[in-house]
Amino acid sequence: MKKRIVPIIILLASLVGYGTVSFFFPTEDNAPVYQEITVADSVFEDKFYFEQLTEEEQLIYKELYQGVDAHAEDITVHCLDGDQAGKILHSVIYDFPGIFWTDGSSNMLTYEDSHVVVSPTYTYSLEERKRMQAEIDAEVNAILSKISMGSSDYDKIKYIYETLVKEVTYVDDALDSQNIYSTFVRKETVCAGYAKANKYLLEQLGVYSIYVFGQAARESHAWNIVRCNGVMCYVDVTWADPLFSEEVQDMPEITEEILYDYLCCSETMLGVTHQLDEQYYYPECTSNAWEYYHLNQMYYDSADRRTLLNAMYTSINAKKDNTTFKFSDGAVYEQARDLLINQLMEKAGQHLCDRYRLRQVEFMYSEYPELHRFVVFWKYK
């Protein structure tokens, strides 16, 4: 299934040079003045990118986090390499999606064999940041008020997934698209905004989440890894919107509200279209235990004629809008697709006609070959 994915221009492209401009100065008469780290260590617990760093790099990370949080113009860090400082600054932003007031670019003053002074680029003033934060808080509180902290990890993840798809629109040229303000306040964003907002909300609900990036459909893309009831899985809110699917763009009357293929899915499913950036060792996501179609008895590992027909009869008897089939692989999908189109949908249509005493019956179907999914849509009038 092909999607319209726009490259993450600022954050991902900047990984090459980290968006820095470096200048080198001799150390004489430039003795460094380091800030005292006052942030509690607990702030950095379960932060994936922080945990990938050495002890020396973690000190630089803490200095950058504390400086950016304080909106400091210049941040002196225990570092000899401006490129290293730039990469670590991005790690801070990946771990803390609530930092929306800088895009990760910066100027560097590198004092030879001594230290680096980082001057982050702030996209908003401190006053603007406070106003925008209040707007974000209002929207976030409204979302979180509708889910209980006592809910299961899966229910929390699913709720946030559905909420973001329903409330936010993907817009290629959205303002503030690389941060959460675009998602929560403007309601228009791109993949970076979706993934950061998803992580931001899930962490407030006590669900572990990582902002990850790489390639999807050969374009730069961002999504999440989450821990669902102890199992690591992928979540891609951007691709949950069915309007990104070329197969249904010309058939809005049969478009599903949300695609659940990208909710708590495994490498087997997501790896068809997504590839993680190889510079980080991300947790493996091998289990399909929490995939939506498994949980809702829509998953089939064979193209059994009677099983497929009974699934459609059950949907029709319950007057459901559709019958969804998710198949284990491409071979099973093709076999089942042939049966459904050439034989079984007609039989199910006759059952619909007889059960509801209709003079004629109308139904349509949608195909997702790359996802191994087939959906039949029923009309009861």
pLDDT classification of 32: cutoffs 50, 70, 90: confident
Quote the CA–CA distance of 126 and 137 in Å, as a whole number: 16
Distance CA 213, CA 129 (A): 26
The highest-confidence range among 78-87, 168-177, 204-213, 267-276, by mean pLDDT, is 204-213
For position 177, what pLDDT does the model report? 84
Report CA dihedral (308, 311, 315, 316) to the nearest 10 degrees. 60
The answer to pTM > 0.75 is: yes
What Rg, from alpha-carbon coordinates, does the chain have?
Answer: 24
pLDDT (0 to 100) of residue 243:
66
Q: What pLDDT sits at residue 252? A: 47
d(CA 256, CA 42): 42
- Going by the DSSP 8-state scheme, the letter that residue 367 receives in this structure is E
Query: What is the torsion angle, in degrees rounded to the nearest 10, for the CA atoms of residue 236, residue 241, residue 244 and residue 250?
Result: 160
Task: Report the pLDDT value the prediction gives residue 7, as an integer from 0 to 100.
Answer: 27
Is residue 123 over pLDDT 90? yes
Contact 290, 296 (CB under 8 A): no
Question: Cα separation of 361 and 184, whole Å?
Answer: 43
Type of residue found at 185: V
Mean pLDDT of 132-146: 98
pLDDT of 253: 54
Q: How far is residue 61 from each of residues 11, 13, 56, 241, 242, measured CA to CA in Å?
A: 17, 21, 9, 35, 39
pLDDT tens readout for residues 82-122: 999 999 999 999 999 999 999 999 998 988 878 999 999 99
Paired residues of 213 in beta bridges? 222
Cβ-contact 11, 211 below 8 angstroms: no
Q: How far apart, in whole angstroms, are the C-alpha atoms of residue 242 and residue 27?
A: 57
Region 3-8 average pLDDT: 27
CATH architecture, domain defined by 127-291: Roll (3.10)
The Cα diameter of the chain in Å comes to 92
**pLDDT for position 320:** 95
* Lowest-confidence segment of 22-26, 144-148, 271-275, 293-297 by average pLDDT: 22-26
The confidence score (pLDDT) of residue 257 equals: 79
Chain position carrying tokens 């221009």? 9
Count CA within 13 A, CB hemisphere, residue 21.
4
- pLDDT, one tens digit per residue, over 46-87 is 999 999 999 999 999 999 999 999 999 999 999 999 999 999
Q: Which amino acid is at 379?
A: K
Task: Report how far residue 60's alpha carbon sits from residue 189's, in angstroms, rounded to the nearest whole number.
Answer: 31
Residue 242: predicted pLDDT: 75
- What pLDDT was estimated at residue 174? 87
- pLDDT, residue 25, reads 53
Predicted confidence band of residue 362 (pLDDT cuts 50, 70, 90)? confident
Burial of 313 (0-12, 13-18, 19+ CB in 10 A): middle
Alpha-carbon span 14 to 93, nearest angstrom: 13
Confidence of residue 359 (pLDDT cuts 50, 70, 90): confident
The string of DSSP letters for 196-231 reads HHHHHHHHHTT--EEEEEEEETTEEEEEEEEEETTE
User: In what order do the strands lie in the sheet containing 299-300?
Assistant: 299-300, 322-327, 373-378, 363-368
d(CA 235, CA 135): 26
Position with higher pLDDT, 362 vs 129: 129
Mean pLDDT of 162-182: 92
Alpha carbon distance 187, 164 (integer Å): 9
The structural domains of the chain, with segments of one domain joined by +, span: 13-123, 127-291, 297-378
The pLDDT value recorded for residue 16 is: 29
Q: How far apart are CA 224 and CA 196, in angstroms?
A: 8
Query: What average pLDDT score do residues 156-185 get?
Result: 94
Q: Kindly report the number of other CB atoms within 10 A of residue 7's CB atom.
A: 14
For 167-190, letters b (16+ CB in 10 Å) and e give: ebebbeebebbbbbbbbbebebbb
pLDDT of res. 248: 43
Query: In whole angstroms, what is the distance from residue 364 CA to residue 317 CA?
Result: 17
State the amino acid at position 22 in one-letter form.
S
Number of neighbouring beta carbons within 10 Å of residue 193: 31
- Sequence-distant (6+) residues with CB within 8 A of 199 are 97, 209, 210, 211, 224
Position 6 pLDDT exceeds 70: no
> Has residue 10 got a pLDDT over 50?
no
Average pLDDT for 356-380? 91
- Residue 40: pLDDT above 50? yes
